[in-house]
Amino acid sequence: MKSRETLIRLKKFQVDERRRKVAQIETMIAEFERMATDLEREIKVEQDRANIHDPAHFAYPTYAKAAMVRRENLRRSADELKQQLDDAQAALGEAFEELKKVELLDERDQARERAEAGAREQAELDRIGALRMHGARA
């Protein structure tokens, strides 16, 4: 029984670790998307300030060009993280299923042990009752 409890604790730990990883990746994606949105706004402000919206124009603002590159890098990184998130969510699902299997086995074993203990107790009560019955007749 002790090894089953240890296994359950291990499986719970694995589920918690995978949950943390999913949350961490989700936070990173949100942060990258927020930063890309901020850069998008800054690019628009810089284009409006210079009154040049064509990146191919010779006088296009240098800051806007650099911000566009950074924005695209952030978006690419967010897309890569979304793939990692899918993998991490799948791993979390698998870990959760493994935990549930172990917990169900433990519950089934405990129910069987309770039933066996109840049957032993009932047999003992029946034996005591039979002894009393036998003693009352004598």
CA atoms of 32 and 71, how far apart (whole Å):
9
The pLDDT value given to residue 95: 97
CA atoms of 7 and 102, how far apart (whole Å):
8
What is the residue whose two structure tokens read 């800054």?
A: 42
Domains of the chain: 2-137 (1.10.287)
Interval 27-85: pLDDT, tens: 999 999 999 999 999 999 999 999 999 999 999 999 999 999 999 999 999 999 999 99
Question: Global pTM?
Answer: 0.74
CA atoms of 35 and 119, how far apart (whole Å):
66
Residue 92 near residue 22, CB atoms below 8 Å: yes
Half-sphere exposure of residue 87: CA atoms within 13 angstroms, side-chain side: 7
